[in-house]
Structure 1
Amino acid sequence: MSGSLWIGGNEGRDTLPFIPRQRPARAAGGDPMSELALRFDDLIAAAVHPDEIAAVIESDGMTDAQISARYGHPDSFSLAEELYGRVERRYPTAPAPPPEPWHTHLGSCLLRGLVFALPGLAYVLGAPLLAGPRAAFGLPAGTVPLLAGTVTGWMWNQSLSHRAHSWLSLADRPAAVRALRLGAPLGAALSALSAIAVTGPGELSAAAFAAGQCCYLSAATALLVLGRERPLFWALLPLTLGALPGLPAAVGPLLLLVSLIAAVTLAVLTLRGEAAGPGPHGAVSPRLAASVPYGLFGLGTGVLVLYAALGDIFRHGSTGIVAGPSAVALTLSMGPAEWLLHRFRARSATGLRFTQTARGFRGSVVATVTLCLGAYLLVLAALAEAGTGLWPDAPVLGGLRLATLLLIGAVLWTGLLLQSFGAAPGAALVCCAAAVAQTLALVLGAPPTTGLVVSGTAAALLAALVCVLLGRATAHRS
């Protein structure tokens, strides 16, 4: 480019191309020009035209008189041209986009789904321990102690998990480890005692199975909170042998014991290898009461999952308790469910940046919830269909059974979504009410359609809570 650049007050000044001229004399005590070039080095190197440097010089408060006296140039433009010629161009690279705060890998979520589902094979391997005549209400042998231990363990460990994660959110990992060291053994003992307390005659082997399950739940909670999904998966891998045909009955309990010892040992070693201690001086301790709704949510959702399993048992006509394909599908689906929860957080954060009105943001949230929930229910239906095809003599995935399962899945996912935003009390209230209604329907011998109505009502209430609570922009500010 050649010619003159006309700027008011400086007409006729040669600009582009830059014409080298004789440098002014330097002061004997140093080189002021070199000092100035060093001072503005980054700005000069990134400039695409001397005028950018002149603007910086003027904004620094230098007058033409000062520039002439110190640097030997008549004005800021002349000084800028020499600085522009002295410093080599260095253009900074474009800044990387900020990382998505809710990004998570699908593979890690699928691994967690496997970790949630593999313990269901324990019921296959432990069938000899659960054999016997049916118990009260026509339930398979050993069901009552198993239910007592499992539900107590779910409730305790959900509260413990929230307590430990609260410490982790405060960047206090030692305090989280301390909570797990105290809470995991106590939870295992309490849930095992609750199982033993309701054990009937001839159910000692079932009580032993339930106690082992309680110990596993506590160990798994500690490992999952501390991000040890992969070691836990390897500890559960022996259970997959239960799917082999022709496995001797005596081998099943032995594999259960091996897997249990591996999981508990991993938890003990992990907790011992972590530093544990009080929180930093002056830190605010999370309130214990804040973890109670999460425990109640675990209680309610646990009963609903058990209801799905019991529905398969009654339709199957089994004499021993097994984890039905519906329960396995629900537990396996927790991996994709977790990933979709992260996708909702990411998409809602995007909507928060690009929508202009509160109504527009609310519509964006409703659309995102519909998309994520629909995707989860499709995954759940596919898992249930696959499980029904692979499960020996499984009940047909008919309209009523599929509709009830999908509604329970909707309750679980929307409840988890509310819980992830801190709205656990509302989710816990709805889930516990649904669990009580399902239990009463089972005890009173209500028709199967009652479960459909209860699950549908709970799903509708939770969906309404999601739209009301999460449709506000303030709910998404982290």
Structure 2
Amino acid sequence: MTAAAVHPDEIAAILESDGMTDTHIRLTYGRQDSFALAEALYERTDRRHPAPEPPQPTPWHTGLAGCLLRGLVFALPGLAYVLGAPLLATGPGRYGLPPGTVPLFAGAVTGWVWNQALSHRAYTWLGLGDRRAATRALLTGAPAGAAAGAAVAVAAAAPGETPAVLFGAGQALYLAAATVLLVLGRERALLCALLPLAGAVPAFRYDLPEPFRIALLLASLTATTCVAARALRPEPGEQPPRTRGGPPFAASLPYGLFGLGSGLLVLYAGADAVVALTLSMGPAEWLLHRFRGASLTRLRLLTTAYEFRRAVTGMLARSLGAYLGVLAALTLTAAALWPGTAALAPGRIGSLLLVGAVLWLGLLLQAFGGVSSAAAVCLLAAGAQTLMPPAAAPVAAGAAAAVLCVLTGVLLARPTTHRF
């Protein structure tokens, strides 16, 4: 205590708090009062101040490797569609789409909506420190989501689309299992379960036997489901669930609606753009974490609201530009690997970048509590693309990106936004 004091008065205050009176000090130590004794102790003791504690790690400081891993596990399931495409090519298509597309899209959108809302509820429990309650939410919600996705795929199917219905049921089961693993931080386990899908790579050049395609699909789906079921088992020494009420179910609804709007925008972007968009989600997540951590640093260092607003606006522009640069690079790489795609057609890259801007800004708003605004903008943009001719689709995406730029700029320029 004496060695760490920065002034004699600090020692005097401690002496008096311990009940040492001036009379006791004169009789015992031969000093006039506590201040005189404190000065003597301060002069006779070498200073040994404790080293400052290192800054505590926050969830906003994360490594690029982990985010890239998540981007990879987002993109690998696309190989399942490469394997399954010949199995679904039976009967005529509807609405100008390939056979089996309608039930697959309907089941996928249902899964995105359900699992986005479920993820928010589970993450909320984890944020409250109740992992057992988060696991229980996933244990009840994931099977229900799988059943809902499969039911919608069945309802949307036409006669002769039985293979698409079976594929849609497997798709719904995979989405539920992947949600469990991603929420619980088991990305590496999910990657290992997806490895059988790597057998789809030769399918880009060769016609693989149908039994081999089915075997690869079933192997990956079975592995993912089993790993997810194992992850939901209680860990040794895990605390029982708490009895307090959990987050309201209505709070997760905007996250589901955002999943609906963003999912529709990705579908409208086209199958050739989905690969680039899904792979870009890893860098997008890392940039979001980096922006959040940098904004907290600026909040501690800057002293005026004007300085903070200018710094945040610059960081926002640089982060969005970096993400769009990564997305453009991934698009060009995909076009180089698979010549003949429409990715390099006039205006194609620009349209894809507008969709990417909408997704990244929407995720940023979601991270700062503006998920309702992000969901509304994405849903309106998706609805506009449904009503517009395909050539006018970039107009809806561009308008949505502009609105989200304004919303994020206004929201994030306020220092109070960053203090939750």
Q: Assess same fold via TM > 0.5.
A: yes
- Cα distance, 1:360 vs structure 2: 2.8
1:258 and 2:258 correspond: no
Distance change in 2, residues 1:60/1:216 (3 Å): same
Q: Which residue of 2 aligns with 1:137?
A: 95
Question: 385, 396, 413: which one pairs with 1:471?
Answer: 413
- Number of the residue aligned with 2:242: 280
Mapped partners of 2:162, 2:178: distance in 1: 24
Report what 2:155 is aligned to: 197
Q: Tell me the equivalent position of 1:290.
A: 251
* Alignment-derived partner of residue 453 in structure 1: 395
What percent of counterpart residues are identical?
A: 56
Matched, 1:423 2:370: yes
2:314 to 351, 359, 367: 367
2:178 match: 220
Decide which of 380, 384, 388 is 1:437's aligned counterpart: 384
Deviates more, 1:375-384 or 1:249-258: 249-258
Alignment of 1:87-236 (within 5 A): 90-100=48-58, 102-236=60-194
Q: Distance in 2 between matches of 1:166 and 1:113?
A: 22
Show CA shifts across 1:287-317 (max 9, x none). Answer: 10111110010001011111112xxxxxxxx
Alpha carbons of structure 1 residues 399 and 58: separation in structure 2 relative to 1, 3 Å: same
The alignment status of 1:56 with 2:14, answered yes or no, reads no
Alpha-carbon distance change, 138 to 77 in structure 1, aligned in 2, over 3 angstroms: closer
| CA shift for structure 1 position 332 | 0.6
Q: Contact between 2:11 and 2:38, CA under 8 Å: does it hold in 1?
A: no
CA–CA separation in structure 2 for the residues paired with 1:98 and 1:158: 29
Pick from 397, 409, 415 the counterpart of residue 356 of structure 2: 409
Cα distance in 2 for residues equivalent to 1:277 and 1:179: 15
The separation in 1 between residues aligned to 2:343 and 2:372, in whole angstroms, is 36
User: Does the C-alpha gap of structure 1 residues 376 and 66 become closer, same or farther in structure 2, counting only changes over 3 Å?
Assistant: same
State the Cα distance separating 1:467 from its structure 2 match.
Answer: 1.2
AA in 1 matched with 2:384: A
Q: CA RMSD in A?
A: 2.5
Query: Residues of 2 paired with 1:108 and 1:54: CA distance?
Result: 51
Residues 246 and 434 from structure 1, CA distance in 2 versus in 1: closer, same or farther, beyond 3 angstroms? same
Q: Distance in 2 between matches of 1:54 and 1:181?
A: 59
**Structure-2 separation of matches of 1:54 and 1:404:** 68
1:354 shift after superposition: 2.7
Corresponding residue for residue 271 of structure 1: 232
* Structure richer in helix, relative to its length: 2
What is the rounded CA distance, in whole Å, between the counterparts of 2:36 and 2:251 in structure 1? 67
Contact 1:418 1:466 in 2 (8 A): yes
Give the whole-Å Cα distance in 2 for the aligned partners of 1:80 and 1:186.
69
| 1:336 aligned onto 2:283 | yes
Deviations 1:402-435 (A, max 9, x none): 0110000000000001111121111101101111
Match of 2:208 in 1: 248
SS in 2 for 1:333: helix
Superposed displacement of residue 167, structure 1? 1.1
Alignment deviations for residues 251-290 of structure 1 (CA, whole Å, 9 cap, x no partner): 1221011000000111111112458998423x34211011
Q: Which runs of 5+ in 2 are unaligned?
A: none
Separation in 2, partners of 1:277, 1:211: 35
Which residue does the alignment assign to 1:301? 262
TM-fit CA distance, 1:365: 1.8
- Deviation, structure 1 residue 357: 2.8
Conserved? CA contact 2:342–2:348, under 8 Å: no
**Larger CA deviation: 238-247 vs 169-178:** 238-247
Cα–Cα, structure 1 residues 265 and 63, in superposed 2: closer, same or farther, change >3 Å? Answer: closer
Name the CA shift for 1:365/1:77 in 2 (closer, same or farther; >3 Å): closer
Q: Does 1:395 align with 2:353?
A: no
Partners of 1:362 and 1:332 in 2: CA distance: 31
Following the alignment from structure 1 to structure 2, what is the Cα–Cα distance between the partners of residues 376 and 155?
24
In the aligned structure 1, how far is the partner of 2:93 from the partner of 2:323? 36
How many pairs does the alignment contain? 413
1:356 pairs with one of 282, 292, 303? 303
1:384 — aligned with what? Answer: 331
Could you report, residue by residue, the CA deviation over 1:82-114 in whole angstroms, capped at 9, with x for unpaired residues? 756976764433432343551011111000000
SS at match of 2:397: helix
d(CA) in 2 for partners of 1:58, 1:408: 63
Counterpart of 1:56, as a letter, is I
Quote the offset at 1:343 in angstroms: 1.0
Q: Is the 8 A contact 1:129 1:209 kept in 2?
A: no
1:74 offset after TM fit, Å? 6.5
Amino acid in structure 1 at the alignment position of 2:157: T
Report the secondary structure of 1:343's partner residue: helix
Shift of 1:59: 7.0
The one-letter code matched in structure 2 to 1:452 is P
User: Does the aligned pair in 1 maintain the 2:362–2:374 contact within 8 Å?
Assistant: yes
Give the counterpart letter for 1:349 in structure 2.
L
Distance 1:347 1:156 in 2: 32
2:208 alignment partner AA: P
